Structure 1
Amino acid sequence: MNAVIWLTLALFLVLEGLGPLLYPQAWKRMLLVITQLPDNTLRRFGGGLVVAGVVVYYMLRKTIG
Protein backbone atom coordinates (compact mmCIF):
# COMPACT_ATOMS: atom_id res chain seq x y z
CA MET A 1 0.00 0.00 0.00
CA ASN A 2 0.96 3.57 -0.47
CA ALA A 3 2.75 5.22 2.48
CA VAL A 4 0.17 8.03 2.54
CA ILE A 5 -2.63 5.53 3.11
CA TRP A 6 -0.73 3.94 6.00
CA LEU A 7 -0.11 7.38 7.53
CA THR A 8 -3.78 8.23 7.16
CA LEU A 9 -4.80 4.98 8.84
CA ALA A 10 -2.38 5.65 11.70
CA LEU A 11 -3.77 9.17 12.23
CA PHE A 12 -7.32 7.81 12.14
CA LEU A 13 -6.48 5.24 14.83
CA VAL A 14 -4.87 7.89 17.02
CA LEU A 15 -7.88 10.20 16.73
CA GLU A 16 -10.37 7.39 17.32
CA GLY A 17 -8.46 6.26 20.41
CA LEU A 18 -8.49 9.68 22.05
CA GLY A 19 -12.20 9.51 22.93
CA PRO A 20 -12.15 6.41 25.13
CA LEU A 21 -8.69 7.28 26.47
CA LEU A 22 -9.52 10.80 27.67
CA TYR A 23 -13.28 10.64 28.27
CA PRO A 24 -14.33 7.02 28.91
CA GLN A 25 -17.65 7.83 30.62
CA ALA A 26 -18.75 10.29 27.91
CA TRP A 27 -17.71 7.77 25.26
CA LYS A 28 -19.87 5.08 26.87
CA ARG A 29 -22.86 7.45 27.01
CA MET A 30 -22.36 8.36 23.35
CA LEU A 31 -22.36 4.68 22.38
CA LEU A 32 -25.56 4.11 24.33
CA VAL A 33 -27.23 7.02 22.50
CA ILE A 34 -26.03 5.70 19.12
CA THR A 35 -27.51 2.25 19.81
CA GLN A 36 -30.92 3.88 20.28
CA LEU A 37 -30.91 5.59 16.87
CA PRO A 38 -33.00 4.09 14.06
CA ASP A 39 -31.13 2.05 11.43
CA ASN A 40 -32.03 4.54 8.70
CA THR A 41 -30.38 7.39 10.61
CA LEU A 42 -27.21 5.35 11.13
CA ARG A 43 -27.12 4.45 7.43
CA ARG A 44 -27.42 8.11 6.44
CA PHE A 45 -24.69 9.10 8.86
CA GLY A 46 -22.41 6.30 7.62
CA GLY A 47 -23.08 7.18 4.00
CA GLY A 48 -22.29 10.82 4.69
CA LEU A 49 -18.98 9.84 6.28
CA VAL A 50 -18.09 7.67 3.29
CA VAL A 51 -18.86 10.48 0.84
CA ALA A 52 -16.92 13.01 2.92
CA GLY A 53 -13.95 10.64 3.12
CA VAL A 54 -13.91 10.05 -0.63
CA VAL A 55 -14.10 13.79 -1.33
CA VAL A 56 -11.24 14.56 1.06
CA TYR A 57 -9.20 11.69 -0.40
CA TYR A 58 -9.56 12.96 -3.96
CA MET A 59 -8.86 16.57 -2.92
CA LEU A 60 -5.66 15.53 -1.14
CA ARG A 61 -4.68 13.19 -3.95
CA LYS A 62 -4.81 16.07 -6.44
CA THR A 63 -2.93 18.38 -4.05
CA ILE A 64 -0.20 15.92 -3.08
CA GLY A 65 0.24 14.56 -6.57
Structure 2
Amino acid sequence: MIETAFLALGLVLIVEGLAYALAPSLVETLLAALRELPEPARRTLGLLAIVSGLAFVWLANVLAG
Protein backbone atom coordinates (compact mmCIF):
# COMPACT_ATOMS: atom_id res chain seq x y z
CA MET A 1 0.00 0.00 0.00
CA ILE A 2 2.73 2.49 0.91
CA GLU A 3 4.51 1.58 -2.33
CA THR A 4 1.46 2.69 -4.29
CA ALA A 5 1.31 5.98 -2.39
CA PHE A 6 4.99 6.65 -3.14
CA LEU A 7 4.43 5.73 -6.79
CA ALA A 8 1.49 8.12 -7.05
CA LEU A 9 3.40 10.93 -5.37
CA GLY A 10 6.37 10.36 -7.65
CA LEU A 11 4.20 10.47 -10.75
CA VAL A 12 2.58 13.71 -9.62
CA LEU A 13 5.99 15.28 -9.03
CA ILE A 14 7.20 14.14 -12.47
CA VAL A 15 4.19 15.69 -14.21
CA GLU A 16 4.50 18.91 -12.20
CA GLY A 17 8.22 19.08 -12.89
CA LEU A 18 7.70 18.56 -16.61
CA ALA A 19 5.27 21.47 -16.73
CA TYR A 20 7.77 23.81 -15.05
CA ALA A 21 10.74 22.52 -17.07
CA LEU A 22 9.14 22.51 -20.51
CA ALA A 23 6.83 25.53 -20.35
CA PRO A 24 7.62 27.88 -17.45
CA SER A 25 6.04 30.90 -19.15
CA LEU A 26 2.85 28.91 -19.73
CA VAL A 27 2.76 28.06 -16.02
CA GLU A 28 3.02 31.77 -15.17
CA THR A 29 0.20 32.55 -17.60
CA LEU A 30 -1.94 29.81 -16.06
CA LEU A 31 -1.28 31.09 -12.55
CA ALA A 32 -2.24 34.62 -13.61
CA ALA A 33 -5.48 33.29 -15.11
CA LEU A 34 -6.22 31.37 -11.91
CA ARG A 35 -5.68 34.53 -9.85
CA GLU A 36 -8.40 36.25 -11.89
CA LEU A 37 -10.97 33.53 -11.16
CA PRO A 38 -13.23 34.09 -8.17
CA GLU A 39 -12.56 31.89 -5.16
CA PRO A 40 -15.70 29.72 -5.60
CA ALA A 41 -14.61 28.89 -9.17
CA ARG A 42 -11.12 27.90 -7.97
CA ARG A 43 -12.69 25.77 -5.24
CA THR A 44 -14.93 24.07 -7.82
CA LEU A 45 -11.91 23.38 -10.05
CA GLY A 46 -10.10 21.86 -7.08
CA LEU A 47 -13.05 19.64 -6.22
CA LEU A 48 -13.35 18.53 -9.84
CA ALA A 49 -9.64 17.65 -9.83
CA ILE A 50 -10.14 15.57 -6.67
CA VAL A 51 -13.12 13.73 -8.16
CA SER A 52 -11.23 13.11 -11.40
CA GLY A 53 -8.23 11.81 -9.48
CA LEU A 54 -10.40 9.48 -7.44
CA ALA A 55 -12.02 8.20 -10.63
CA PHE A 56 -8.60 7.46 -12.15
CA VAL A 57 -7.45 5.68 -8.99
CA TRP A 58 -10.66 3.63 -8.94
CA LEU A 59 -10.30 2.76 -12.62
CA ALA A 60 -6.67 1.71 -12.15
CA ASN A 61 -7.71 -0.48 -9.23
CA VAL A 62 -10.48 -2.10 -11.27
CA LEU A 63 -8.19 -2.72 -14.24
CA ALA A 64 -5.48 -4.20 -12.00
CA GLY A 65 -8.03 -6.77 -10.99
Work out whether the TM-score is over 0.5.
Answer: yes
Q: Normalising by structure 1, what TM-score?
A: 0.84
Q: Give me the whole-angstrom Cα distance separating, in 2, the residues matched to 1:49 and 1:27.
A: 17
* Structure 2: stretches of 5+ with no match in the other structure: none
C-alpha RMSD of the superposition: 1.4
> What's the % identity of the aligned pairs?
28
* Structure 1: stretches of 5+ with no match in the other structure: none
Q: Normalising by structure 2, what TM-score?
A: 0.84
Amino acid at match of 2:13: L
1:57 aligned residue: 57
> Equivalences for 1:5-44 in 2 at 5 Å?
5-44=5-44
> Could you report, residue by residue, the CA deviation over 1:25-64 in whole angstroms, capped at 9, with x for unpaired residues?
1211111111110111111111111111111112222332
